[in-house]
Amino acid sequence: MDFVGSLAFRALLALFPGLIALVSILALFGQSEESVVRLLNQFEGVTPEDTWESVRPVLESILRAPQAGLGLVIGLVTTLWTASGFIKTFSRTMNAVYGISEGRGVFKWNLQMYLLTAMFLLLAAVGLIGSVV
């Protein structure tokens, strides 16, 4: 099976909208631009230089945008959708590893995966905001 590749793809797909949502949250709650730039500098240390050169201007423009709320809504919805893809793939991977068939219905399974994703995103946001503050 190709679960590992799928998990890596889904994680990478969720990363950029997550950064947009995080920067929008910080801008919306009045964090100074300096503290957000420090956080972005920390991200710069763990990303390839070419990638960061294309991502950083977008994040800085969101920080300076007059309507951070729109970036927040778009970022959160996109992050929830892409990150839930990761959580769903992880769930299917664990079912395959343990040889368990999914017993929940499609609606119940999707609802639980979206709620689990929202919980993980909330915990990650609180942790990152706590490190900035």
Does residue 107 surpass a pLDDT of 90? Answer: yes
Q: What's the mean pLDDT in 55-68? A: 73
Q: Within its chain, how far is the Cα of 94 from the centroid? A: 21
Domain parsing of the chain, residue ranges: 3-132
Does residue 109 surpass a pLDDT of 70? Answer: yes
Does residue 41 surpass a pLDDT of 70? Answer: yes
Write out the H or E segment, with its range, that includes residue 30. Answer: none
Q: Which two tokens stand for residue 39?
A: 């956080």
Three-state DSSP state, 97 = helix
Write the pLDDT tens digit of every residue in 71-87: 677 778 888 898 899 99
